[in-house]
């Protein structure tokens, strides 16, 4: 594990490209007598000429020693103990060099493995060489030394970066078993950075993909966001499918996918293309919209089944289906409640958007998630010609000024003749009258 060393004039990284907070941490550690390096993605991205998402620091100081140097420091993580140095909302992650598990007598409080070879705890400290060996990909085993501004590349990382090659360090089988999330990281880096996964690194993935079922759903939620909400969603999704990695993340979606000409697969790609475009334009994206799209197939399918086989009305069938689909999904990939409520809103709006008569469309415009529901309808209409007229109607309705809106909703009432867009006939209810509140004067 001898590193290739690039001196200051042999690489293009300058301190101006590194965040002020990361530099503060590096300098303070160094002044405190410790080794301090910028490590991993930060160095990799700078060498590729890209702006890193965050800066991670590696040091030979233990987490407790790091805490001793910074008052704004918090120790986190059990599986992998780390120091977080906090600067307002900016967090610099400081990791102590990891060592080999067999090299010291380890208690299970320090390091442990599951029967499948998964690392449950990784808190054995070591040297920079050992630390490099414990990293996932060679292009991530890169260190920028704040003491002399050299870049150290271990395990052929610098050559691989040059060749745009993604190569796992060590034996791929073992490394994926230690941490199956590395399979997702392989796909993510490949799609995001345009690196090709080397044959030996990609070989075991299809077979080991089911190991993802053992990863805590909360961790997979974070990973899924990084995979699908980072601007390369379509490409990433295709790779996930290619390597059998999609099914363990979204089992029900994968299951209904094959039905109806892979209609739902195309719908997911469309949603991701839309998301990628928004990210490219610096527009806001919400995980809820994406989850609504990913799980639309199962929800629509289950709703239909409950109507046809369970004899339920549409509304009840839908509510049951939504509960069931979200309930199953969170066993694989978590969906925090602040998002799952919005997912439900978006789905529920799909039915409400079919009701254009009377005051309803006016009230719907006030719905806090109207815009997301409408965007979702537009997306569905791209694949389903039967929805186009409805989608266009809503576009026009929103663009119209309040005076123009009245006749639009009146026409909708006449045209509709008691039938909603799903073709179901319903006896028209009398509009409920609300007692008007009298204004006190
Ligand atoms: P990005 O921040 O752009 O997503 P990154 O490579 O910095 O990419 P992080 O998750 O920030 O990824 O991790 C920082 C570094 O920690 C990685 O570059 C890698 O060296 C190491 N690392 C992260 N996760 C793992 C893992 N599961 N197994 C081994 N090493 C890992
Ligand atoms: Mg990083």
Q: Answer whether 0.95 is exceeded by the pTM.
A: no
Nearest CA, atom 28, ligand 1: 136
235 lines ligand 1 (CB under 6 A): no
294 class by beta-carbon count within 10 Å (0-12 exposed, 13-18 middle, 19+ buried): buried
Q: Chain-centre distance of CA 293, in angstroms?
A: 14
At 224, the pLDDT band (50, 70, 90 cuts) reads very high
* Any ligand 1 atom below 6 A from CB of 53: yes
Q: In testing the pocket of ligand 1, which one of 51, 56, 80 has its CB within 8 Å of the most ligand atoms? A: 56
In the chain, where the domains are located = 1-163
Residue 192 pLDDT > 90: yes
Q: Are 66 and 73 in contact (CB under 8 A)?
A: yes
Query: What mean pLDDT comes out for the span 170-199?
Result: 97
Give the whole-number percent of the chain exceeding pLDDT 70: 90
Kindly list the distances between the CA atom of residue 194 and the CA atoms of 47, 235, 372, in Å, as whole numbers in the listed order.
14, 10, 31
Please indicate whether residue 161 or residue 107 has the higher confidence score (pLDDT): 161
Tell me, letter by letter, the H, E, C secondary structure of 62-83.
Answer: CHHHHHHHCCCEEEECCCCCEE
Phi, psi of 179 (to 5 degrees): -150, 95
Ligand 1 pocket, residue 56 CB under 6 Å = yes
- Distance, in Å, from the CA atom of 104 to the CA atom of 314, rounded to the nearest integer, reads 63
Rounded Cα distance between 224 and 202, Å, is: 19
Starting from the CA of residue 193, give the closest ligand. Answer: 1
98 lines ligand 1 (CB under 6 A): no
Residue 215 CA to ligand 1 center (angstroms) comes to 17
User: Ligand 1 centre from 294 Cα, in Å?
Assistant: 26
Taking only the tens place, the pLDDT of each residue in 259-318 is 766 889 999 999 999 999 999 999 999 999 999 999 999 999 999 999 999 899 999 999
| Nearest by Cα to 123 from 185, 63, 57 | 63
94 CA → ligand 2 middle, Å: 11
Region 230-244: what's the mean pLDDT? Answer: 96
Q: What is the mean pLDDT of residues 67-90?
A: 93
Would you say residue 197 has pLDDT above 90?
yes
Cα(82) to centroid(ligand 2), Å: 14
Residue 119's pLDDT band (boundaries 50, 70, 90)? confident
**pLDDT range class, residue 86, cuts 50, 70, 90:** very high
pLDDT for position 435: 57
Q: What is the pLDDT of residues 389-436, one digit of tens each?
A: 999 999 999 988 877 887 777 666 544 444 444 444 444 455 555 555
Answer whether 140 contacts ligand 1 (Cβ < 6 A): yes
Q: What is the pLDDT of residue 117?
A: 77
Known catalytic residues are 54, 56, 136
Note the pLDDT of residue 140. 98
Measured in degrees and rounded to the nearest 5, phi and psi for residue 366 equal: -85, -10
Average pLDDT over residues 108-129: 79
Q: Is the per-residue pLDDT at 121 higher than 90?
A: no
CB of 41 shorter than 6 A to ligand 1: yes
Q: For a pocket test of ligand 1, which of 52, 93, 135 has the largest count of ligand atoms closer than 8 A to its C-beta?
A: 135
Cα-to-centroid distance, 177 and ligand 2 (Å): 22
Does any ligand 1 atom lie closer than 6 A to the CB of residue 40? Answer: yes
Query: For residue 212, what are its two tokens?
Result: 């993802």
306 Cβ contact partners less than 8 Å away, ≥ 6 residues apart: 312, 316, 317, 318, 320, 321
Residue closest via CA to ligand 1's atom 1 equals 41
The three state secondary structure string of 414-433 is HHHCCECCCCCECCCCCCCC
pLDDT of 214 above 60 = yes
Contact between residue 381 and residue 373 where contact means Cβ atoms under 8 Å apart: no
State the distance from the centre of ligand 1 to the C-alpha of 138, rounded, in angstroms: 11
What topology does CATH give the domain 1-163? Beta Polymerase; domain 2 (3.30.460)
- Counting from 1 in the atom list of ligand 1, the atom nearest the Cα of 181 is 27
Number of residues written out for the chain: 441
Q: Which of 300, 407, 293 is nearest to 356 (CA)?
A: 407
Are the C-beta atoms of residues 281 and 338 closer than 8 Å to each other? Answer: no
pLDDT, tens digit, 9 for 90 and up, residues 128-160: 999 999 999 999 999 999 999 999 999 999 999
Residues contacting 234, CB < 8 A, separation 6+: 269, 272, 273, 276
């Amino acid at each position: 594990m001898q590193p290739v060393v690039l001196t200051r004039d042999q690489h293009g990284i300058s301190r101006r490209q590194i965040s002020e907070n990361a530099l503060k941490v590096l300098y303070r550690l160094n002044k405190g007598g410790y080794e301090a390096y910028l490590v991993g993605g930060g160095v990799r991205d700078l060498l590729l000429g890209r702006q890193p998402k965050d800066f991670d620091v590696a040091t030979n100081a233990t987490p407790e020693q790091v805490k001793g140097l910074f008052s704004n420091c918090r120790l986190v993580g059990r599986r992998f103990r780390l120091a977080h140095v906090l600067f307002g909302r900016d967090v610099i992650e400081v990791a102590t060099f990891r060592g080999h598990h067999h090299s010291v007598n380890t208690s299970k409080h320090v390091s442990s493995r599951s029967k499948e070879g998964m690392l449950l705890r990784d808190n054995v400290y070591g040297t920079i060489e050992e630390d490099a060996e414990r990293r996932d990909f060679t292009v991530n085993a890169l260190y920028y030394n704040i003491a002399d501004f050299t870049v150290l590349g271990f395990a052929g990382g610098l050559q691989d970066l040059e060749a745009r090659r993604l190569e796992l360090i060590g034996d791929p089988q073992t490394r994926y078993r230690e941490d199956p999330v590395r399979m997702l990281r392989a796909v993510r880096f490949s799609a995001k950075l345009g690196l090709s996964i080397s044959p030996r690194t990609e070989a075991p993935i299809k077979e080991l993909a089911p190991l993802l079922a053992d990863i805590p759903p909360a961790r997979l939620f974070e990973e899924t966001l990084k995979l699908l909400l980072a601007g390369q969603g379509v490409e990433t999704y295709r790779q996930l499918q290619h390597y059998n990695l999609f099914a363990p993340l979204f089992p029900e979606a994968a299951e209904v996918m094959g039905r109806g000409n892979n209609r739902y697969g195309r719908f997911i790609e469309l949603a991701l293309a839309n998301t990628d475009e928004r990210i490219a334009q610096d527009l806001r994206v919400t995980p809820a919209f994406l989850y609504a799209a990913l799980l639309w197939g199962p929800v629509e399918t289950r709703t239909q089944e409950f109507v046809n086989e369970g004899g339920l009305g549409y509304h009840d069938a839908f509510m049951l289906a939504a509960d069931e689909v979200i309930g199953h999904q969170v066993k694989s990939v978590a969906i925090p409640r602040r998002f799952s409520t919005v997912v439900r809103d978006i789905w529920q709006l799909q039915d409400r958007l079919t009701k254009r008569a009377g005051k309803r469309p006016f009230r719907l415009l006030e719905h806090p998630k109207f815009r997301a529901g409408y965007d979702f309808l537009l997306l569905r209409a791209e694949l389903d010609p039967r929805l186009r007229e409805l989608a266009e109607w809503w576009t026009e309705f929103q663009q119209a000024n309040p005076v123009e809106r009245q006749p639009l909703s009146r026409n909708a009432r006449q045209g509709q003749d008691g039938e909603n867009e799903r073709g179901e006939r319903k006896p028209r209810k009398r509009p409920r009258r609300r007692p008007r509140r009298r204004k006190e004067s």
